[in-house]
Homo-oligomer: A and B are copies of this chain.
Amino acid sequence: MDKFFNANSVAVIGVSANDKKIGHTIFKNLLEGDYQGKVYPINPTIRKVLGQQVYPKITNIIEPIDLAIIAIPAKSVLNVIDECNEKKIKHIIIISSGFKEVGNKELENNLKEKLKQYGMKAIGPNCLGTFDAYTNLDTLFLPLEKMQRPKKGVISFISQSGALGAAMLDKASYMGFGFSKFISYGNGTILDETDYLQYLAKDRNTKVICIYLEGLTNGKRFLTVAKEITKKKPIIIIKGGITKEGSKATLSHTGSMAGEEHVYETAFKQTGIIQVKSLEELFLIAKMFEKAKIPKGKNVQIITNGGGYGILCTDAIIKNNLKLAKIKKTTYKKLQKLLPNITTIGNPIDLVGDADPKRYEQAITIVSKDKNIDILLLITLFQTPSLNNKIVDVIKKTYKTKTVVVVATGGKETQELKLQLEKNKIPCFDYPEQAVNALQKLTNYFL
């Protein structure tokens, strides 16, 4: 399947001179983006596009083609597949819609048969395309100015829905997430979610696999494969169509039956899949797995400069079945010696409102050596006059010994400081409950 992400040459079948058309956008992104391979535009009715010679048919190209992207009306797709076969292309991305999702089951079946007959691997039809942050092979039909592409990283995302995938990718890029591969697979005629899962399991750049799923082509196969993969890499799934009504809506979307909620829930749980309840949760948990150091245990120590946040974190830790760390007596004594009287030493450690980076450093340095603590949950409310961006260096040092997670709510300054922390692989969260929920998923997976 590697040629979908690492092709040396790509043909875009259905290039248009009209820059509003899908075929135009795909060709433009490949031509003007950072993709290093050769790109060929195909269209029998135009001669030039973006200064490049257009080929009438794929068979007119002399050089070998690794990957064909098809963006033409559904009714013409089968003929083009024949031509691709003539050209000995084995990897095809079919962007075109108008198959089983609009009731054209026969056309879809014919497509399937043809692809099988030719031994072709195909993504789609009715999909958005793919993206690889390492090779920059970008077959998404969305313009760069409308959808930001993510930087290199460890998250890969498989999405049955194109628009949903695009929205998530745009937002994730905006938030600074790093990606390996993105796959929108639409109707999944030949290659389905399990195939992609197997591929990503072997992908060295992928550390976390996220999936938006409506239905399963072969549930048993998916679960068997997933069960093996979750032993090595976390799989996070959001399932669309968990209600009867939602499931009905999946039929006209990707033409799949979504099935019953509790059946999926139980099955996912048994295979070690992390099923999330919302798109937001998917983001936050992916971030935690992307950035956080693997925890050695479930004992969390809270250090805060705001009492209320300490309390909300405490509540969340208990509600999420994590443990409030109990610091050693020696730790307690050391802290008592250094910290001013107004602070509270316990769990939470409340450094109170006038805590500066130095006070954080004193507390963190001592606490980092305490083996009763596995995870440090740091609350750094940046609104106070004494806290400033020196806290970034203080926190960076701790990251080597413990799993560190930061909570901070606020405006511009807070966002900037969190960005700095996240560049240093320290996952930051806006709210206590988000951070602790993601921590729970992290510890449950590793411990």
Q: Chain A residues in contact with chain B, CB under 8 A? A: 20, 25, 97-98, 102, 142-143, 145-148, 159-168, 170-171, 173-174, 212, 214, 238, 240-246, 249-250, 252-254, 258, 277-280, 305-312, 314-315, 317-319, 324, 341-342, 344, 346, 348, 350, 352-353, 381-386, 408-415, 430-434
Give the chain B neighbours of A164 by CB distance below 8 A: 306-309, 312, 381
Give the chain B neighbours of A97 by CB distance below 8 A: 342, 352
Not counting A163-B383, A163-B384, A279-B409, a sample of 12 additional A-B residue pairs whose C-beta atoms are within 8 angstroms of each other reads: A161-B308, A162-B308, A163-B308, A167-B309, A167-B409, A174-B410, A241-B311, A242-B315, A243-B319, A249-B314, A252-B344, A279-B433
Cα distance A243–B311 in the bound complex, in angstroms? 9
Give the chain B neighbours of A433 by CB distance below 8 A: 277-280
Whether B306 pairs with A163 at a CB distance below 8 angstroms is yes
Please name the 4 residue pairs, one residue from A and one from B, whose CB atoms are nearest each other, closest first. Answer: A161-B308, A163-B306, A164-B308, A174-B411
Whether A253 pairs with B350 at a CB distance below 8 angstroms is yes
Whether A254 pairs with B307 at a CB distance below 8 angstroms is yes
What is the CB-to-nearest-CB distance from A4 to chain B, in angstroms, rounded to a whole number?
21
- Count of chain copies: 2
Give the chain B neighbours of A249 by CB distance below 8 A: 307, 310-311, 314, 346, 348
Closest to A24 in B: B385
Closest to A278 in B: B433
Cα distance A252–B414 in the bound complex, in angstroms? 26
Whether A412 pairs with B174 at a CB distance below 8 angstroms is yes
What is the CB-to-nearest-CB distance from A72 to chain B, in angstroms, rounded to a whole number?
15
Give the chain B neighbours of A146 by CB distance below 8 A: 382-385, 413
Whether A166 pairs with B383 at a CB distance below 8 angstroms is yes
Closest to A159 in B: B308
What is the CB-to-nearest-CB distance from A144 to chain B, in angstroms, rounded to a whole number?
11
Given A383-B142, A383-B147, A240 and B411 contact (CB-CB distance below 8 Å): no
Cα distance A165–B411 in the bound complex, in angstroms? 13
What is the CB-to-nearest-CB distance from A324 to chain B, in angstroms, rounded to a whole number?
6
What is the CB-to-nearest-CB distance from A291 to chain B, in angstroms, rounded to a whole number?
19
Give the chain B neighbours of A310 by CB distance below 8 A: 249, 253
Can you report 21 A-B residue pairs in the complex whose CB atoms are below 8 A from each other?
A98-B342, A147-B383, A163-B307, A164-B306, A164-B381, A165-B308, A167-B408, A170-B414, A171-B409, A171-B414, A174-B411, A240-B308, A240-B315, A243-B314, A243-B315, A245-B314, A246-B315, A249-B348, A277-B433, A278-B433, A279-B312
Closest to A184 in B: B308
Cα distance A377–B329 in the bound complex, in angstroms? 56
Whether A412 pairs with B240 at a CB distance below 8 angstroms is no
Cα distance A415–B434 in the bound complex, in angstroms? 21
Closest to A252 in B: B344
Give the chain B neighbours of A279 by CB distance below 8 A: 312, 409, 430-433
Cα distance A312–B163 in the bound complex, in angstroms? 13
Closest to A429 in B: B280
What is the CB-to-nearest-CB distance from A159 to chain B, in angstroms, rounded to a whole number?
7
Closest to A319 in B: B243
Give the chain B neighbours of A411 by CB distance below 8 A: 147-148, 170-171, 173-174
Give the chain B neighbours of A246 by CB distance below 8 A: 311-312, 314-315, 318
Give the chain B neighbours of A143 by CB distance below 8 A: 385
User: Which of B25, B381, B430 sits near A280, CB closer than 8 Å?
Assistant: B430
